Chains A and B, each alone.
Chain A
Amino acid sequence: MVPVEYYIILSAVLFSIGVAGVVFRRNALVIFMSIELMLNAANLAIVAFSSALKSLEGQIFVFFVIAVAAAEVAVGLALIVEIFKSKRSIDVDQMNSMKG
């Protein structure tokens, strides 16, 4: 059997790749995808612990996380479309003013 540590290490690595994407990419859409990657890494850790502890609660939490991520993507992409309409760009370096 695969030890649970391996899954946790993989999850930590995927999460860190997501953090690096948020820190240095400039395309707002790619930053958003990195956030999804981090959510996914956290889900993997939760399911691994749930499986190791032989408990179903972890899978239920992951179910809710997936639902919340879907809602977050719908609103976030609508915001990005709005920003693109006003700035004509989705470069996060361009988003430096509070109003329009």
Chain B
Amino acid sequence: MTLDLALFLILALVAIAAALGMLLSRNAVYSALFLVLNFVTVAVFYLLLGAPFIAMAQITVYAGAIMVLFLFVIMLLGAERLPDAKVLPWQKPLAYGLAFVLAAEATYLFVTRARPEGDILPPEAAVNTLDNLRALGIALFSDYLLPFEVTSILLLVAMVGAILLTKKEKWERK
């Protein structure tokens, strides 16, 4: 067993355990922290796959900004834990069963139908140089310039929308 494979298997266990912890925690704060662990693990996978820029973006945007926003809202609303209510008894086993079927089918179809030719690049090829970052920057600002600019407009609209949604609605009544 090579070092890469051992690293992958251990990290995959951590990622799946963190996702299950997110799913099963009663407290929403614990869910958020488990999800941060999962995001950081996936960032390490990106490094293994030779995508260092995406790995860093994953840590700053997902594990940093997005999850801080989540924790902020959870604590602002004081909604860590919902009061127990009457739930449908068959809902949980049904959800587990359907999710398991989905996982099995998706795994089978992805592996058999979507198999690309070729193996994963050795990470040293991309991690230890700035080639990955330089190539990404050139592609973003030449071939993908229009989507890049549209994304900036999308972020502006989301910012304005979030501010408008949480604003007091005095302007409506005038």
Residues of A within 8 A of B (CB): 1-21, 23-27, 29-30, 32-34, 36-37, 40, 43-45, 47-54, 56-57, 59-60, 62-64, 66-75, 77-82, 84, 89-91, 93
Residues of B within 8 A of A (CB): 2, 4-5, 8, 12, 15-16, 19-20, 22-23, 28, 31-32, 35, 38-39, 42, 45-46, 48-51, 53-54, 57-58, 61-62, 65-66, 69-70, 73-74, 76-77, 79, 82, 85, 87, 91-92, 94-96, 98-100, 102-103, 106-107, 110-111, 114-122, 132, 135-136, 139-140, 144, 147, 151, 154-155, 157-159, 161-162, 165-166
Can you spell out 11 A-B residue pairs with CB atoms less than 8 angstroms apart?
Answer: A3-B120, A7-B49, A21-B23, A36-B35, A44-B45, A52-B116, A53-B117, A74-B161, A79-B165, A80-B73, A90-B77
What are the 10 A-B residue pairs with the smallest beta carbon separation, nearest first?
A71-B158, A16-B103, A20-B99, A24-B95, A12-B106, A78-B165, A23-B95, A78-B162, A51-B49, A17-B19
- Residue in B closest to A55 when the chains form the complex, CB atoms: B116
Q: Which residues of A contact B121 (CB under 8 A)?
A: 51, 54
Secondary structure class of chain B's binding surface, majority of residues = helix
Q: Do A30 and B31 touch across chains, with their CB atoms under 8 A apart?
A: yes
Q: Do B111 and A5 touch across chains, with their CB atoms under 8 A apart?
A: yes
Q: A63-B57, A82-B165 are in contact. Are A17 and B99 (CB under 8 A)?
A: yes
- In Å, the complex CA distance between A70 and B152 comes to 12
Extra contacts, 6 of them, besides A33-B31, A57-B139 (Cβ < 8 A), are A29-B74, A59-B54, A66-B62, A78-B166, A82-B165, A90-B79
Q: Which residues of B contact A93 (CB under 8 A)?
A: 85
Q: Do A64 and B120 touch across chains, with their CB atoms under 8 A apart?
A: no
Nearest-CB distance from A66 to chain B (Å)?
5
Count A/B pairs, Cβ under 8 Å: 239
Q: Do A26 and B136 touch across chains, with their CB atoms under 8 A apart?
A: no
Q: A19-B102, A26-B87, A29-B73 are in contact. Are A75 and B165 (CB under 8 A)?
A: yes
From A2, A40, A81, B76 is in contact (CB under 8 Å) with A81
